[in-house]
Chains A and B, each alone.
Chain A
């Protein structure tokens, strides 16, 4: 025998209750939703122009003009980038501190054992076209900007120091201790790697040169030329065309952005 179901009736009270609940929910949630829609309006980061590959920044260092004992470029770099603000931890020996303090630019001395000729040169990040530090970075913190400057994004750096081991020029430094008196323009913190960034904020603000170049020029040595290697009319391009220059560790085929004449 077929079972007869009782006719289902609509529970109007239930329907009214759902309606009320939906209304209350909307009333509570709506201001937030509306606020967020309104909030989406202010545009961010639309000003300023992203760097492009139209330029490639580089340095040409004439080692014949680089004097023994002169540290003008090193000091200028330290002042510009707040490196002179580092203090030795009380527990650390002077030798360990000399080894571990952050240095972006150092003076190196090259001796030819056959002839006895000694060459002085400033050594910093070479801003390779194919940077080994970028290859090995596990987080993407080490990267090359479109304009060829190799930079560490320290927001992403985990301090593994693979890049320091990969760099053939020992150009990178690690910050071992907490830092407290950074310059506004040059952030620095414990646990991150850093190196020469060709005075990157000067680049972004369109200034003509770097701190080391300014210091070398002001001292009358004029051993360093800075400029855009892709612009055939720039001073560095003209100088590169006029004189013979070399890259350090040419055998690695990194196509460095820092070139040396007189080696």
Chain B
């Protein structure tokens, strides 16, 4: 085996570690050993492993609430991460953070941020500190595509560019799991932008049938509607009494096949919530 093959094998081993870890998390969640929200990284292993292998130990990492994979790829011990999710004192955040707030400052892993987009300004600041201190370091910040809807995403890109800061922004296309509402219902797609604006205009009326409905369908080619997607449970299922009494808002729900509730369709879980 040559060096390149050994490198590839090592990357694959890390990806496999993440997959096995996440599968174990899903089982432990079903067994009610892990509580709170649990966002799994299945299917994205290559993003963390590939990008993280380009970072040096002195570089900083800022991650999202779906960050088990980032933490493992960064080298946090799986035992410390699992202990954190069990709420134990030997967890990587002494049991204060849980699944969404894994931290290991010694590895410059600044965590798990559970407000979508909230880690981006922080990453800009970490990079600013390095620049002011004359340190040749990079700050890598991970985010899902939902974060691009937040103002902080745009503000952070502007500030990082304005101050010429070494921030590596790593976004990934998710489109379905940030909230329950499909991307097409949250954003205007580029392909159908003119029709969206002008369903009542002469131009739109001259093209009968090509109005907003069709722009929606062009987007849904990328993002299937709920009815087209396999659903782990009935659409618009009412909140269970237990969830209500726990104060869990309905944003915990997600009908995506990979985002399932405890006890349902654990074959391919991506997010599990305490319902």
Partners in one complex: no
Query: Interface residues, chain A, CB within 8 Å of chain B?
Result: none
